[in-house]
Structure 1
Amino acid sequence: MKYEQMERKMPVSLKESIVRQPWCAALHSSGKTLEEILTLPVHLAELYRELSSDERRTLRLVMSTFGCLPFTRERLEKEAVLQMAGAQVSLGLWGLRRYGVIVAFRKTWGEQLYTLPEDAFAGWQNLIFPVAELLKPCALEELSDLSDRVIEMAEDGSTPSNPRGLAQQLFHCMVSCSRQPELSLTNKGTLHKKQLLKVTEHVSLPARILTSSGLTYAFTDVYEEPAALMLELGMRMGFLYKNEVGNRFLVHHQHFENWLQYSYEHQQAQLYRIWRQALIPAPVWLEHGIASMERATVLQWYSLSELVQTIRTCCSIGPKSMDEEALGQELMAVWIRPLTIFRFIELAEDHEGGFWFRWLIAPNLTSDMCSDDRSLQAVPSLYVQPDFDVLLPPDASLRLEWAVAAFADLQNIDLVRTYHLTKESFGRALDHGLRSSEVIRILREHAYYDVPEGVIITLQQWEEQKEKLILTDVTLLRCQSSEVAEALLRNEKCRNVLGERLGENNFIVPRAQVKHLTKCLEAMGFHPNPRLAPNASNEGEQEMPSWNGPALSLCYSKDTIQLYEIDPYLPKREDLYPDMQQIPASWIKELRDYHTSTRKDMIRKAIEWKSVLQLRKEGRDCFIIPRMLREDRTGWILEGWEEYEEIAWTSDDWKEMKLILPGINDGSVREKEETLREL
Structure 2
Amino acid sequence: MDVKPSVERLPESIRKLIASSAIVRDRLKSGERLDEILSSRRWAAAWLSEERDRAEEPAVETLRLLLRTYAAEPFERENLERTAALHDRTSLSGAEIRVGTAKLRRSGVLFAVRKIGGEQLLYLPTDMYPLWERLLFRPTSEPLERDEAALVVPADAPFRLPLSLELLTCWSIIGSRGLSLTSKGVPGKPSAARVEAGLRLSSEELVRFGFSYPGSDQLAPQVALALDIGFCLGTLERENESIRIDKEGMDAWLSRQAIEADTALHRLAVNRYASAHRELHLAASIIASLQPFGWHTEEAFIAAGCDGEALDSWLGLLASFGWLQRGSLADRAAFRWSRELDFLKEPCCETNRAAMAGEEGCPSYIYVQPDAEIIVPPETGLADRWRLEKLADRVSADTLFVYRITPSSCKRASSAGYTAESVAEFLESRSGTPLPQPVSDLLRDCFGSLGQVWFQDVTLLRAADDRAADLLERDAALSGIIVEKIGSRDYIVRSEDVKAAIRMLEKLGLPPSEGGAAERAAKKEKSGASASKDVRSEGWIYCRHVLSFYEPDRFFPKPEELFPGMRDIPSVWIGESRTYHSSTCRQMIRQAIDWGASVRIIRDGKPAAFVPRLLESGEDDWRVQGWWKAFPDSEVLLDKEAVTVSSGDFSELMILIPSLDSERR
Instruction: Give the TM bin, normalised by the shorter chain.
Output: 0.7 to 0.9
Whole-Å separation in 1 of the counterparts to 2:480 and 2:120:
69
Deviations 1:149-181 (A, max 9, x none): 44355xxxxxx4x6212222221222212221x
SS at structure 2 position matched to 1:110: coil
CA drift of 1:74 comes to 1.9
Pairwise CA distance, 1:226: 1.0
Residues 111 and 124, structure 2, Cα contact 8 Å, conserved in 1: yes
Q: Match of 2:6?
A: 6
Distance in 2 separating the partners of 1:518 and 1:656: 84
State the Cα deviation string for residues 398-448 of structure 1 (Å, max 9, x = none).
433333332332333333334344323323333444333444455555569
User: Where does residue 312 of structure 2 map in the other structure?
Assistant: 332
Distance verdict in 2 for CA 1:395–1:126, change over 3 Å: closer
Indicate the SS of the match to 1:203.
coil
Name the structure 1 match of 2:70.
Answer: 66
Cross-structure match for 1:321? none
Q: Evaluate the alpha carbon distance shift between residue 367 and residue 102 of structure 1 in structure 2; reply closer, same or farther with a 3 A threshold.
A: same
- 1:544–1:436: structure 2 CA closer, same or farther, 3 Å change rule? farther
Match of 2:547 in 1: 561
**C-alpha contact 2:232 2:537 (8 A) present in aligned 1:** no
**CA distance in structure 2 between the aligned counterparts of 1:593 and 1:480, rounded to whole angstroms:** 96
Distance 2:656 2:645 in 1: 25
- 2:295–2:334 Cα contact (<8 Å) kept: no
Shift of 1:341: 0.8
Could you say what secondary structure the match of 2:611 adopts? strand
Equivalent residue letter for 1:14:
I
Identity of aligned residues (%): 20
What's the offset of the Cα at 1:202?
0.8
Counterparts of 1:213-252 in structure 2, within 5 Å, are: 213=209, 215-243=211-239, 246-252=240-246
In structure 2, C-alpha distance between the alignment counterparts of 1:661 and 1:479, rounded to whole Å = 84
1:280, distance to aligned residue in structure 2 (A):
6.2
Tell me whether 1:270 sits opposite 2:264 in the alignment: yes
For residues 35-434 of structure 1, what are the structure 2 equivalents within 5 Å? 35-48=35-48, 49-50=50-51, 51=54, 52-81=56-85, 82=88, 83-129=91-137, 131=138, 134-140=140-146, 146=152, 149-151=153-155, 160=158, 163-180=160-177, 183-213=179-209, 215-243=211-239, 246-279=240-273, 281-310=275-304, 312=305, 327-333=307-313, 335-351=314-330, 353-358=332-337, 360=339, 361-363=341-343, 364=347, 366-368=351-353, 371=356, 380-384=365-369, 386=371, 388-434=372-418
In structure 2, the partner of 1:673 is: none
1:115: how far off? 2.3
Amino acid across the alignment from 1:200: E
| Cα offsets for 1:613-632 (capped at 9, x unmatched) | 45556657654322224469
- Given residue 58 of structure 1, which amino acid in structure 2 is its aligned partner? T
In structure 2, C-alpha distance between the alignment counterparts of 1:592 and 1:530, rounded to whole Å: 88
Q: Is the 8 A contact 1:436 1:460 kept in 2?
A: yes
Q: Secondary structure at the match of 1:555?
A: coil
Query: SS of 2:122's equivalent?
Result: strand
* Structure showing greater Rg: 1
Q: For 1:426-484, what per-residue CA distance to the aligned partner results, in whole angstroms no more than 9, with x for missing partners?
A: 233334443334444555555699966545434433344558x7555587989999x99
Deviation digits for residues 241-289 of structure 1 (CA, Å, limit 9, x no counterpart): 123xx33333223432443343222222232233233136444444444
What is the aligned residue count?
A: 625
TM-score normalised by the chain length of structure 1:
0.75
Does the 8 Å CA contact 1:2/1:119 hold for their aligned counterparts?
Answer: yes
What secondary structure sits across from 1:53 in the alignment? Answer: coil
Q: Tell whether the 8 Å contact from 1:379 to 1:445 is kept in structure 2 after alignment.
A: no
User: How many Å apart are 1:15 and its aligned residue?
Assistant: 2.8
SS in structure 2 opposite 1:297? coil
Partner amino acid for 1:93? Answer: T
Q: CA RMSD in A?
A: 4.9
CA deviation after TM superposition for structure 1 residue 136, in Å: 3.6
Q: Is the alpha carbon distance of 1:341 and 1:515 closer, same or farther for their aligned partners in structure 2, counting shifts above 3 Å? A: same
Question: Aligned pair in 2 of structure 1 residues 280, 8: CA closer, same or farther (>3 Å)?
Answer: farther
Cα deviation, residue 545, structure 1: 8.3
Q: 1:2 to 1:658 in 2, by over 3 A?
A: farther
Q: Which amino acid aligns with 1:329?
A: E
**Matches of 1:612 and 1:578, distance apart in 2:** 16
The aligned amino acid for 1:2 is: D
- Alpha-carbon distance in structure 1 between the residues aligned to 2:93 and 2:362: 66
2:558 to 571, 575, 579: 571
Task: Tell me what 1:672 maps to.
Answer: none
Q: Given that residues 135 and 292 in structure 1 are in contact (C-alpha distance below 8 angstroms), is that contact kept between their aligned partners in structure 2?
A: no
Give the deviation of 1:197 after TM superposition. 1.8
In the TM superposition, what whole-angstrom CA distance separates every residue of 1:577-599 from its partner, at most 9, and x where no partner exists? 6267657968985575965x666
The structure-2 alpha-carbon separation of the partners of 1:533 and 1:98, relative to structure 1 and needing over 3 Å to count, comes to closer
Cα distance in structure 2, aligned partners of 1:25 and 1:68:
26
Q: Deviations over 1:227-246 (max 9, x none)?
A: 11111122222222123xx3
Paired residues of 1:183 and 1:195 also in contact (CA < 8 A): yes
Aligned equivalents of 2:46, 2:39: Cα separation in 1? 12
Counterpart among 631, 641, 644 of residue 646 in structure 1: 641
- Provide the secondary structure at the position in 2 that maps to 1:649: strand
* Structure 1, unaligned runs of 5 or more: 154-159, 313-323, 666-679
Alpha-carbon distance change, 370 to 545 in structure 1, aligned in 2, over 3 angstroms: farther
Separation in 1, partners of 2:374, 2:241: 37
> 2: distance between equivalents of 1:433 and 1:240?
21
Report the CA distance shift for 1:459/1:539 in structure 2 as closer, same or farther (over 3 A). Answer: farther
State the SS of the aligned residue for 1:406.
Answer: helix
